[in-house]
Amino acid sequence: MKRGFYIGRFQPYHNGHQSVLEHIAGEVDEIIIGVGSAQLSHLIDNPFTAGERVLMITRSLADIGCPLYVIPIEDIKRNALWVAHVRSMTPPFDACYSSNPLVVQLFREAGIGVQSPAMYERETLSGTEIRRRMICGEPWKSLVPSPVAQVLKEINGTGRLSQIARDE
């Protein structure tokens, strides 16, 4: 039995994450998804709560055919402790997937191998770009799985983000 770990902030969860996870699902038996910076929300760069992000991810992956653990991970703000922190919050895993250079370094120093899946269309498929579009009123729904758009409608996600982005 092989369990893989994938971490992101998912602000919001988008098609780039979805395609990476569909790829990982073909390589492991179970997937752990760490929802990073779980304690942050209502910020321009981190607008959605951990619970809202858990909902986006779980609904988008309902049919992935692979058991999932979706786990909020609060920031520990001590990089030398971060891998131990992640491992204390998650079931044991054998493989790690990340393209974040710091995450790669921290797992490597802990003796855990990391694979860096290529994210295609990195320029448009990024949380930064999607949040920019939401604030500017440009179209963004094509960049996320449809359950994400549904969750964002339920919580009035664009309204929240637009309000906190207003200049005081």
**Binding flag, residue 128, a second copy (CB under 8 A):** no
Restricted to residues 74-93, the positions that interact with a second copy (CB under 8 A) are 74, 76-81, 83-85, 87-92
Q: Is 160 in the site for a second copy (CB under 8 A)?
A: yes
Is residue 105 within 8 A of residue 76, CB to CB? The reply is: no
Neighbours of 67 (CB within 10 A): 11
Based on CB atoms, which residue is closest to a second copy, 10 or 142? 10
Q: At closest approach, how far in Å is the CB of 141 from a second copy?
A: 21
68 vs 71: CA distance, rounded Å: 9
Within 28-67, the residues that bind a second copy by CB under 8 A are 38-43, 49-52, 54-55, 58, 67
Interface with a second copy, residue 113, by CB under 8 A: no
| Of 16-24, 104-112, 129-137, 140-148: span binding a second copy (CB under 8 A) | 104-112
Which residues does 166 contact at the CB level (< 8 Å), separation at least 6?
Answer: none
Cβ–Cβ under 8 Å, residues 93 and 5 = yes
Instruction: Give the three-state DSSP class for 64.
Output: coil
